[in-house]
Chain A
């Protein structure tokens, strides 16, 4: 009998814990009054390519969000690849002003891929008065490969040959000039 009570008590406790977790997650979701719709969601690019990343921010809440700030963040998903977001996109922080309930605003950035690897580009949101809990939108996943438009092996013969021909002409002309001066007319 005692063990039955213990099982019931444990089930209730577990249930309460799970309910608590669900409520707390539900609570966080409920505290996010903005939904973020980003396009595109993924891109396969070459180093040096540009992609336009845009996000539609919609106020799902019932209150005005004052002084919304959208900031573009870029992270490498590979540990040994460094990203300096300043080089990838300029003017990453946008000050959008207030956003009324059920109102939407579209923001966009031009992002230029400067390294090979896997990257996540996402928008983070905060309000100037920090009343809005900081949140991030879904990421744009970028896979970037090497740019090899002009292989060096194809270029090298020409870049060596042209100066060589001109050097030969210079040497021949110089030698001819010296010989002409030495031989009396």
Chain B
């Protein structure tokens, strides 16, 4: 296919997707489905876990899908520029007339494409665990809405870290650390979460805000319209993500670093 005349993001995206098409993509989806199958069987059959209600099983299944997608997106993002640095191919990439923001956008689309694939594979699992309840459509909606947000956010965090990290190892470590820091407040015991400082942090943290939204709708049976305030922080974060892409567009350098 002639790539001349195409926008840079499309070229980057098409190149990445070509690498993933065929058996490599199938292998990723197979690994993902194995993980989901084991997770589902454990949630349903393990005597230590069978105290879970169906709502809790739905919640944990969605959690697993979203976290796996977020991790994949983070790895794609964190690998974007720092791996080119490690392979000493970033210089030639930067010498092309392609705007750096468009390169980042191409990488972002790759992560979203992977997310779409894994989410489609996850649909039968989510429908299966929510069968017999009135939460089927809400669960699938959350799978895509929450998943899209988490994927975008994780990938942008990865891209930012990758843009400033001098090595790939540092980029991966930093990206994972940031995501873990954002997810950790949601895993704190309820008593700790109810303290003023922690509840303030969780309302600002976009990841915990989305987790809280999911819990309120799935576990507590609340109407989704009752918790629209929890969308403020994620939407603000997405606006910041756009800013991050603009930052990469202007500040991506050969060696990495923040102030160069």
Partner-B contacts on A (CB < 8 A): 47-49, 90, 112-114, 146-147, 149-150, 152, 155-156, 158-160, 162-163, 166-167, 169-174, 176-177
Contact = CB atoms under 8 A, between A and B. Distances in A.
Given A150-B44, A162-B124, A170 B30 contact: yes
A11 to B, nearest CB: 60
Nearest to A180: B22
Given A150-B128, A169-B30, A176-B22, 9 more contacts: A48-B50, A147-B52, A158-B124, A159-B36, A162-B33, A166-B29, A173-B22, A174-B23, A176-B23
A66 B29 CA distance: 65
B34 interface: yes
Contacts of B56: 48
17 contacts: A47-B50, A114-B51, A147-B53, A149-B54, A150-B44, A150-B131, A152-B45, A158-B125, A159-B36, A159-B40, A162-B33, A163-B37, A166-B33, A167-B30, A169-B26, A170-B26, A173-B22
A114 B53 CA distance: 12
A160 B57 CA distance: 19
A7 B222 CA distance: 77
Nearest to A91: B191
B128 A155 contact: yes
Nearest to A178: B23
B211 to A, nearest CB: 21
A166 B54 CA distance: 27
Interface residues of B, number: 29
Of A146, A166, A171, most B-chain CB atoms within 10 Å:
A166
Contacts of A170: 23, 26-27, 30
Given A47-B50, A155-B44, A163 B23 contact: no
Interface string B46-71: 00001111101100000000000000
Contacts of A162: 33, 36-37, 121, 124-125
Given A150-B54, A159-B40, A162-B33, A173 B124 contact: no
A162 B123 CA distance: 11
Contacts of A166: 26, 29-30, 33, 121
A156 B38 CA distance: 10
B129 interface: yes
Interface in B124-156: 124-125, 128-129, 131-132
B132 to A, nearest CB: 8
